Structure 1
């Protein structure tokens, strides 16, 4: 699980750089200012959480179930949150907005919040 966490973190980080460059150059011509800001939000959150996946991959032993749940929450949350934003922005820029993606973004955000909450809980457990 350690290596898988690091590999997925590195993959998400690499994709964040690619999508960021794609958004800054290719999509800048077709996006509105709001769409570009939304797309950049997806990229930023993806990179932040890719970094935390790499960090926890180095620091977790995965002997506790909660550590696995934290990683799953971040992996699923990144995918649902960031990739739904990308889909919404790209489809809206082509006047074919995929409305189904709208409710997926906050679900992804909820997974990210749960991941951080579980991480906080695991640290508190170690203190007590």
Structure 2
């Protein structure tokens, strides 16, 4: 499905841009602890942007499209919740946002499980 290829490519672009912003724009402005949190958000966003690209390819090739489609939406939700909460936490230092991050992690895990099931059944 080209939707997930586009979403994956946009998220990869954003991960590179946010990584550069963190390295050059936030260095010296954030404590090292918060820069590390920012980097974690960037890394997970990039890993899952690649996952979205893979989902886009798989969803268009197999009859298990709905499994892969659900995985794609979960992966996008994971990026927003996991990486997004880490970005906001880094900039605002509002620690309660850390409670949102695990929800994104659960979405990531569920997406990978669906990819595994879809691959086992249909590839």
Which TM-score applies when normalising by structure 2? 0.90
C-alpha distance in structure 2 between counterparts of 1:107 and 1:116, whole Å: 14
Q: Residue 8 of structure 2 aligns with which residue?
A: 9
C-alpha distance in structure 1 between counterparts of 2:122 and 2:3, whole Å: 25
Gaps of at least 5 residues in structure 2 are none
- Aligned-partner SS, 1:114: helix
Q: Residue 106 of structure 2 aligns with which residue?
A: 110
Q: Residue 70 of structure 1 aligns with which residue?
A: 71
Aligned-residue offset at 1:56: 2.0
Cα distance per residue 1:31-88 (max 9 Å; x no partner): 1111111110100000011011112212322643211111111111111100100000
Gaps of at least 5 residues in structure 1 are none
After superposition, residues 31-110 of structure 1 pair within 5 angstroms as 31-61=30-60, 63-64=63-64, 65-92=66-93, 97=94, 99=96, 101-110=97-106
Cα distance per residue 1:15-36 (max 9 Å; x no partner): 1011000000111111111111
**Is the 1:87–1:98 contact (alpha carbons within 8 Å) kept by the matching residues of 2?**
no
Aligned-residue offset at 1:117: 1.0
Q: How many residues align?
A: 121
**Is the 2:58–2:68 contact (alpha carbons within 8 Å) kept by the matching residues of 1?**
no
